[in-house]
A and B are shown apart, each in its own frame.
Chain A
């Protein structure tokens, strides 16, 4: 009989009654064949592998992370709350020691959802990893966490949320932004002034195959993780680097994904994108489950896998080698100044123009970090969009100093008196004070 080397919990929730639209890639059918494959393989009969039902994230769980304008209900449906809840369930299994590792095989995804949310971008409304991470920190104390995003698209939402957080290391492997949505994620983008080098972007050229991904894992990701020493490793396990994915251009395989998981040893994996629902997902998900459970995955092969056709071109290998020489410097020797933004009156300010492709919304945002010598600093978000009038969000981190806290309440009070913002929201993680006005 098969017995897992690591006790694995799989939170499987395919949301068979929810879609963005009937023929949208994010539709009911997406995880159907994955479930067929996992069932047919008898995965959940394997000793040490168990399936779990997700919990539902509450409004509070979302508002611990996001500024949702006009409110949570307007931007997140029940399916989003369940998919975030599924990630929380997975994390709970690991934090409580019930399982060694857990995989939240849930939809819809979340890694394009940024700190401020006006709607859906890249099929994402709320960032399910971030909701999970902040739930873990709320219930199990502040943690040093590494998020390794292996979705083919740059995890710009997760990057945005943790841009100023030095305790969260965000590493994203993705298809070069010059060739794919969302068009961001270059090595120069390495974090805010208080978290320089804690965002590591690795843009890979179209056509990158197993060889290239595994080289990046070995030469860039693993050495950085070894140095950072996270208490939790989270994998945003998007599966659209697969050679059969309809909306990307990579040549990664199920074997490659399984090997990647075996190297990374994530405590928690969370499904992100991946829309080759028949040719890739059944095999990639099986491979990841087996690898996470410490089981043999050598016989997991896509029927259409052709090693010759999928071999990596030599010039790509050369390019990726150079990338592997260059990228670790982002973490080990970050630049002195943050590349994006400027200092003004004790604040570090960035302007962002954000397009919500799924919902067709334009947002103009000013993000200001209070430059503080005692903590990582209060962050202020001033945002307006084609959907909402000016809104204000204030984010006070768990380890904030008193000065930053006083400043947060002062700004909140002044903004209320002066008006000018339709919605105001304060996230005070230090004292667990969450306030909303104008809702």
Chain B
């Protein structure tokens, strides 16, 4: 039995899924207490454990807004942020906090140290941070994913004057190139570290109290995967914005998605749009923004648009519009301004709450604007469906116009052509007809969509993406995320790199006590360049990326 808990903005949803039969054994919904997330989790667990035997529970997957809230509400800790920048864009642009120190030192794009880190400056910077009371530190170097020597030196120096509580080294966040994002990600990772770990301890205590001490705990990430709790304690930043991922993964568990598809999660305030290519969810190319700061935190490609059940209906001239403002609740739920839900009530697409209130309210609203109630309601629903369609079209175009770097990909690259739409969320069933008319594509509304997010949380598999970089002229191979560096012979090739990265990733997950399904292993990018010096081959420059593909451990049987 796997438990899935999704701590959402309003409700905390929980389910217990029986892995053998693929059925939902228990489900519940409790209000979320933002001041005390743990109490919401405990309440949900208690409810579930009233329905299933605790001994049969082997795993708990948790999607929480803890780290997100901490950042949004500024409940973060002071971080000593030490960077080695080298030449390029002025690093003063990336000053994220008071204790930000740019240290002289440089690594170039090949990973050669072109300027040594100044030990005196480093010493002074660490002392200054300590003087300000910093207990967590981020060490970030430009091109540290090619050569982490400066980040390692910073970490050593930080720990020399008495161990720091926690140090994030930039290269551990993954091998992707982007210095400003590495700085921001390392900073946020440190800033929420203590809060997150305190919470993790409390979760473990609570599980013990509930008699679930034996249960393996995984945490949902924004990229549509989970991470073992032990790992997420070191990388808490990965747990932010996991909410949309829970819903998207829920759809995968509920439906058999094979084609290029669009997922619409229509909520109260917004509609989240996700895109599937040949049945697999698309992951954002770069990473999410935290506030105005782009980061390296991978996330499913989800676009939000301000149209939901509680979005206000307006009339501007001849045009009937819906959203992006939320003026809910709807009239049917005792609100004061007609919303999309009221319009859906009026056209008979659903019967939500007090249908008569919707009809009377919308009629009055329409009359003031010399329109008939039916026409206004229909126009509002059509507008909403069309707005969603336009956004989907833009998103798909954006994906298809993403830059590529080989002639082969440019001329023969895969294009996404959506063939099916899946809708979930409160107004899903009600919007079905309008969405079908706007898109002229087959539309499916999965049953049990109400707890899809918790089902998604429960069934999502562990994922991890890592990168390998090898330079046979230097005779070195490096996997930044694992801090793994080894010497390789001049004959080292792409095949060797692909084998090594696979072994390293699977080994790493097994070590964490979370062995991955090798069939979900995927090489996502592999390239090998001849390096030439004085018109002769001097070595090979090899880059490989791989991941455990986002997916569910099994689909739900209905």
Assess whether A40 is in contact with B90, with CB atoms less than 8 Å apart.
Answer: no
Please report the C-alpha to C-alpha distance between residue A299 and residue B411 in the assembled complex, in whole angstroms. 38
Contacts of B537 in A (CB 8 A): 22-23
Most chain A beta-carbon contacts within 10 A, residue among B93, B108, B530: B108
List B residues 395-419 near A (Cβ within 8 Å): 401-408, 410-411
Most buried by A among B89, B181, B537: B89
Cβ–Cβ < 8 Å partners of A97 in chain B? none
A14 contact set on B, CB distance < 8 A: 405
Bound-complex Cα distance A278 to B88 (A): 14
Q: Inside 8 A of A299's CB, which chain B residues have their CB? A: 87-91
CA distance A185 to B293 in the complex (A): 49
Q: Does A82 contact B (CB under 8 A)?
A: yes
- Determine whether B58 belongs to the interface, using a CB cutoff of 8 Å to chain A: no
Do A17 and B408 touch (CB < 8 A)?
yes
Residue of B nearest to A32 (CB): B529
Given A28-B530, A32-B541, A56-B411: A45 in contact with B181 (beta carbons within 8 A): yes
B518 within 8 A of A: no
Chain A residues in 8 Å Cβ range of B527: 16
Contact B530 A23 (CB under 8 A): yes
* Chain A window 127-153, contacts with chain B (Cβ cutoff 8 Å), 1 for yes, 0 for no: 000000000000000000000000000
Does B444 make an interface contact (CB < 8 A)?
Answer: no
- Is A201 part of the contact surface with B, judged by Cβ < 8 Å? no
The residues of A that contact B115 with a CB separation of less than 8 Å are 303
CB distance from A105 to the nearest CB of B (A): 11
| Least distance between B451 CB and chain A CB atoms (Å) | 37
Contact B88 A303 (CB under 8 A): no
A301 touches B541 (CB 8 A): no
Q: Indicate whether B329 reaches chain A with its CB closer than 8 angstroms.
A: no
Residues from chain A with a CB closer than 8 A to the CB of B531 are 29
CA distance A95 to B86 in the complex (A): 37
Counting CB contacts under 8 A, is A78 at the interface?
yes
Q: Which residues of A contact B292 (CB under 8 A)?
A: 1
Question: Is there contact, CB below 8 Å, between A12 and B403?
Answer: yes
Stretch at the interface among B129-137, B172-180, B266-274, B381-389: B172-180
Other-chain contact of A53, B88, B142, B178, B410 (Cβ < 8 Å): B410
Q: Across the interface, do A40 and B408 meet the contact criterion of CB distance under 8 Å?
A: no
Given contacts A32-B541, A302-B87, contact A78 B407 (CB under 8 A): yes
Contacts of A301 in B (CB 8 A): 87
Q: Are A53 and B529 in contact (CB under 8 A)?
A: no
- Asked if B532 is at the interface of the complex by the 8 Å CB criterion, the answer is yes
Query: In the complex, which of the residues A17, A37, A39, A304 contacts B406, with contact meaning CB atoms closer than 8 Å?
Result: A17
Q: What is the CA–CA distance of A27 and B530 in the complex, to the nearest angstrom?
A: 9
Check if B316 is an interface residue, CB within 8 A of chain A: no
The CA-CA distance from A342 to B294 in the complex, in Å, is 63
A417: interface (CB < 8 Å): no
In the bound complex, CA of A29 to CA of B537 (Å)? 12
- B478 close to chain A: CB less than 8 A: no
Q: Are the CB atoms of B403 and A40 closer together than 8 Å?
A: no
The stretch that binds B, out of A233-241, A282-290, A322-330, A382-390, is A282-290
In angstroms, how far is the closest chain B Cβ from the Cβ of A92? 13
Contact with A along B408-432 (1 / 0, CB 8 A): 1011000000000000000000000
Residues from chain B with Cβ under 8 Å of A251 in the complex:
none
State in angstroms the CA–CA spacing of A79 and B93 once bound together: 37
Partner of B181, one of A42, A53, A278, A303: A42
Residues of B within 8 A of A52 (CB): 401, 403
How far is it, in angstroms, between the C-alpha of A300 and the C-alpha of B108 when the chains are bound? 12
Given A41-B179, A42-B181, A82-B407, the answer on whether A33 and B109 have CB atoms closer than 8 Å is yes
Selected contact of A303 from candidates B89, B93, B106, B410, CB within 8 Å:
B106
Nearest A residue (CB) for B93: A2
Rounded to whole angstroms, the CA-CA distance of A12 and B90 in the bound complex is 23
Shortest beta-carbon distance, B140 to chain A, in Å? Answer: 12
Docked Cα-Cα span, A15 to B108, in Å, equals 23
Contacts of B529 on A, CB cut-off 8 Å? 16, 28-29, 32
| A63 proximity list for chain B (CB < 8 A) | none
A13 within 8 A of B: yes
CB distance from B541 to the nearest CB of A (A): 7
Residue among A16, A39, A42 facing the most chain B CB atoms (10 A cut-off) = A42
* CB of B192, distance to nearest CB on chain A (Å): 21
From A27, A45, A54, A296, B178 is in contact (CB under 8 Å) with A45
A48 to B457, CA, bound (A): 37
The answer on a CB contact under 8 Å between A42 and B532 is no
**Could you tell me the distance in whole angstroms from the C-beta of B114 to the nearest C-beta in chain A?**
4
The answer to whether B88 and A300 have CB atoms under 8 Å apart is yes
Contact of A40 among B109, B405, B406, B541 (CB under 8 A): B109
Chain A residues, CB < 8 A from B535: 23
Q: How far is the CA of A35 from the CA of B406 in the complex (A)?
A: 13
- B260 an interface residue at 8 Å Cβ cutoff? no
Q: Does B369 contact A (CB under 8 A)?
A: no
Q: Say yes or no: is A51 at the interface (Cβ < 8 Å to chain B).
A: yes
Question: Does chain A have a CB within 8 A of B187?
Answer: no
Of the candidates A29, A42, A51, A296, which one forms a contact with B403 in the assembled complex, judged by CB atoms under 8 Å apart? A51
- Chain A neighbourhood of B142, CB < 8 A: 40
Complex alpha-carbon distance, A303 and B105, angstroms? 11
Which of chain B's residues have a CB closer than 8 A to the CB of A78? 407, 411
The interface residues of chain B lying within 8 Å CB-to-CB of A18 are: 407
For window 503-549 of B, CB contacts with A under 8 Å fall at: 527, 529-532, 535-537, 541
A42 and B180 form a contact (CB under 8 A)? yes
Chain A residues with CB below 8 A from B532, complex form: 22-23, 27, 29
Cβ contacts A to B, 7 pairs, < 8 Å: A23-B537, A42-B179, A42-B181, A42-B294, A45-B181, A79-B407, A303-B86
Residues on A lying within 8 angstroms of B by beta carbon are 1-2, 12-18, 22-23, 27-29, 32-33, 35-37, 39-43, 45, 51-54, 56, 78-79, 82, 278, 282-283, 286, 290, 295-296, 298-304
Give 10 new A-B contacts, CB below 8 A, not counting A22-B530, A40-B177.
A13-B405, A22-B537, A36-B177, A41-B88, A45-B286, A53-B404, A56-B410, A286-B88, A295-B89, A304-B114
Complex A-B, nearest 3 residue pairs according to Cβ-Cβ distance, in ascending order: A303-B114, A42-B180, A39-B177
The interface of chain B, by Cβ under 8 A from chain A, is 86-91, 93, 106, 108-110, 114-115, 142-143, 176-181, 286, 292-294, 401-408, 410-411, 527, 529-532, 535-537, 541
